[in-house]
Amino acid sequence: MTLRPLHDRVIVKTGTKEEKTSSGILLPDTIDKEKPEQGTVIALGPGRRLDDGSLTTMSVKIGDTVLFKKYSPDEIKLDGQDYLVLSETDILAVIE
């Protein structure tokens, strides 16, 4: 199953990072359950429709690593994978 976002929506996949203390002890991912603030764009909608009927172009592209507002994305799970769906306006920056 694939996801195809609509309008100015962006689908982002976040990476899971393994945390380690300075002494080498691995911390489980349940220690810090903060919502992620960055991820990789895996799908884009066509853009936002303006009042005059024209379509805006998206300013991010597939493969971009982006920073976004912490509590703006909607979380979904599909085929055992976690994804975030957010509006392009909630993206703050592209990490280059």
Please report, for the chain, the start and end positions of each structural domain, with discontinuous segments joined by +.
1-14+41-96
Write down the pLDDT at residue 29.
56
Please provide the CATH number assigned to the domain covering 1-14+41-96: 2.30.33.40
Give the torsion through C-alpha atoms of 25, 30, 34, 40, to 10 deg: 80
What was the pLDDT predicted at 19?
A: 61
- Give pLDDT tens digits for 56-91: 889 999 999 999 988 888 899 888 888 999 999 999
Tens-place pLDDT, residues 1-49:
688 989 999 999 987 555 666 677 766 655 455 566 889 999 999 998 8
- Whole-angstrom Cα Rg for the chain: 16
Q: What is the pTM of this model?
A: 0.74
